Structure 1
Amino acid sequence: MGADTDAVGAPTARPDSAAFVREVTANQRRLYAFILSLVRTPADADDVLQETNLVLWQKSTEFTMGTNFVAWAFRIARFQVMAFRKRQRRSKEAFDDDLIDLLATEAEDRLDEDDARRTALRGCLKKLRPDQAALVAERYEPGGCVNDMARRAGKSPKALSEQLARVRAALLKCVTRSLEAEARP
């Protein structure tokens, strides 16, 4: 039976394959983080993620593009974790399905909160003065080092660290206000 046939070998209608692959690819980190929160080791999470990706592809005809892909993928991942745990039942460390459900719900909530924080941070970064934004960007790009930055700016590392601390504090305050405003009815 080919990848694009049903149980009796008849062709199936797939959603736009490229769009579906983009959805799967764009959400791999979230899916991995979700699965990792439900299993014991990164190796287990890798295995379950592979199984989940396979099932996502097999069930792609059941997904309606434009609907909530992450919720759909998390539901499939949750079932894959439960199947994985059933295979691991002989181990004393296996979680029961109720605990998996509880952990899955908490993981979804945390990931949603993380998304909200990232969105708020992006908005707050846009509100920084250009010199502050450049300072943050330079510090957090790969290889960004306070000592090198201070030397280039003609400042002491301590002075630059204090300047960064003030910008971080302003960002934290802005993110906190944004999240509180979003939480208000």
Structure 2
Amino acid sequence: MMPDGSDSSLPPADFIAHVTRAQRTLHAFILSIVRNAADADDVLQEANIVLWRKAAEYDATREFMPWAMRIAQWQALALLKKKSRARVTFDDDLLALIAEEAMAEAAETDPRRVALAGCLEKLPDGQRALIARRYEPGSSVNALAEERGISPKALSEMLRRTRQMLLNCIERTLAQEARA
């Protein structure tokens, strides 16, 4: 305790305000990396602990969000690496690339993106995998249809139905949030 009764180990009020304002964006960013809401909650808590511990290292002349997102990225990657030991392993370069892309897009994070991430998680594995494969760089409906042994028209219809499910889910999620 300081003579004036304040605790010198606490970060300054402006730092606390930055952390508080960043919570939703950090959560959405983490969710885009770990793809599981419960894991994102856990990673956000861990990232907050690290932010608190590193408060003295924060340079107030620089933007807060990129610094906080980098810490959140490290925490998310640590979780993915830990989980990968129990399942299929991912290349560190791939995990870093995913995190970098998510960070680049996080500035654009809005409630629709957060809702989309949650709705993607709710899709059955087969539909989620189909959507993921369709939007891989270089992917095409014709190539995916050939892989699956179905016509491009049938695959297009599957994609249309899945996209419609996602849209309906997003709209329901946003309506529920608006009422809350």
TM bucket, shorter chain: 0.5 to 0.7
From 5, 11, 16, the equivalent of 1:21 is: 16
Structure 1 gap segments, 5+ residues each:
1-10, 116-139, 144-185
Q: Give the aligned partner of residue 76 of structure 2.
A: 81
Tell me whether 1:48 sits opposite 2:40 in the alignment: no
How much does 1:28 deviate? 0.6
Q: Give the aligned partner of residue 90 of structure 2.
A: 95
Percent sequence identity is: 48
Q: Give the aligned partner of residue 67 of structure 1.
A: 62
Tell me whether 1:35 sits opposite 2:42 in the alignment: no
How much does 1:32 deviate? 0.6
- CA offsets per residue over residues 83-124 of structure 1, 9 Å max, x none? 212322333245332122111221122222347xxxxxxxxx
Q: Which has the larger radius of gyration?
A: 1
Q: Counterpart amino acid of 1:109? A: A
CA 1:113–1:64 in structure 2 vs 1: closer, same or farther (change >3 Å)?
same
CA–CA distance in structure 2, aligned partners of residues 101 and 12 of structure 1 = 36
CA–CA distance in structure 1, aligned partners of residues 29 and 80 of structure 2 = 15
CA 1:96–1:14 in structure 2 vs 1: closer, same or farther (change >3 Å)?
farther
CA 1:14–1:114 in structure 2 vs 1: closer, same or farther (change >3 Å)?
same
CA–CA distance in structure 2, aligned partners of residues 90 and 114 of structure 1 = 30
C-alpha RMSD over aligned residues:
2.8
CA–CA distance in structure 2, aligned partners of residues 85 and 142 of structure 1 = 32
Q: Counterpart amino acid of 2:43? A: V
Q: Counterpart amino acid of 1:51? A: E
Q: Give the aligned partner of residue 172 of structure 2.
A: none
CA 1:114–1:46 in structure 2 vs 1: closer, same or farther (change >3 Å)?
closer
Q: Counterpart amino acid of 2:85? A: R
Q: Counterpart amino acid of 1:82? A: L
Q: Counterpart amino acid of 1:104? A: A
Q: Conserved in 2, the CA contact under 8 Å of 1:13 and 1:61?
A: no
CA 1:34–1:142 in structure 2 vs 1: closer, same or farther (change >3 Å)?
closer
Structure 2 gap segments, 5+ residues each:
1-6, 111-174
Where relative contact order (Cα < 8 A, 6+ residues apart) is larger, the structure is 2
CA–CA distance in structure 1, aligned partners of residues 61 and 50 of structure 2 = 19
1:153-172 aligned at under 5 Å gives the runs: none
CA 1:50–1:96 in structure 2 vs 1: closer, same or farther (change >3 Å)?
farther
1:117-136 aligned at under 5 Å gives the runs: none
